Chain A
């Protein structure tokens, strides 16, 4: 069955610290991969996407993600978080229908 797993429901990091949000997927073929961010009361904003090519993808707001086919993972990283990064992050995969993970809520300590 197709699925997306974000194992961390909540993550808390200090402002200025590095961040890694995990995403693993189960899919028949290599799907298209996305990371979205959702701030309270808002819709989803695309951070980055991977279709093919270089497995290290750069996105907006200083985020990057690395596709690892052997691990079926697409982890999101940021070298130094800002208080404004506090939000919920969703990993998504799919070719025709997009499947979302349950999300990881990021909390930032001042």
Chain B
């Protein structure tokens, strides 16, 4: 069974631009969670989608948004990029979400210049 895939793997943007990251979960998984990983703040939960609905949200500004499609693929969008948004963005999928075992993708490395 294929794992979680994230595209693109690397991305360079400039301040003020917007970016969209994509995550394809493991087949049959309906929950997708997004995390931001930075050296200073560590791994921080962004949001979780389950069956196309946002079920949980972390403490991030409204510039960070996401959505999930009927095939469970998810996208994350960051508008008006700031230097501090440079991070590894990780996506994780699970069958039901919550404390269920999450399987992580390799991440998208975003660099904001």
Contacts and interface: CB of A to CB of B under 8 A. Distances in A.
B72 to A, nearest CB: 18
A23 B92 CA distance: 22
Contact of B56 (A36, A43, A96, A101): A96
A46 B106 contact: no
Given A46-B101, A49-B101, A97 B45 contact: yes
A36 B4 CA distance: 16
B45 A99 contact: yes
B99 A95 contact: yes
Interface residues of A, number: 23
B45 A43 contact: no
Contacts of B58: 97
B49 interface: no
B50 to A, nearest CB: 11
B43 interface: yes
Contact of B104 (A45, A101, A103): A45
Interface string A72-83: 000000000000
Interface hub of B33, B99, B102 (most chain A Cβ within 10 A):
B99
Given A43-B4, A97-B56, A98-B33, A51 B42 contact: no
A109 interface: no
Nearest to A43: B104
A100 B42 contact: yes
A98 B33 CA distance: 10
A46 B99 contact: no
Nearest to B55: A96
Nearest to B100: A32
11 contacts: A31-B99, A46-B102, A94-B99, A95-B99, A96-B98, A96-B99, A97-B48, A97-B56, A97-B58, A98-B33, A100-B43
Interface of B: 4, 33, 35, 42-45, 48, 55-56, 58, 90, 92, 98-99, 101-107
Interface of A: 31-32, 36, 41-46, 49, 51, 90, 92, 94-103
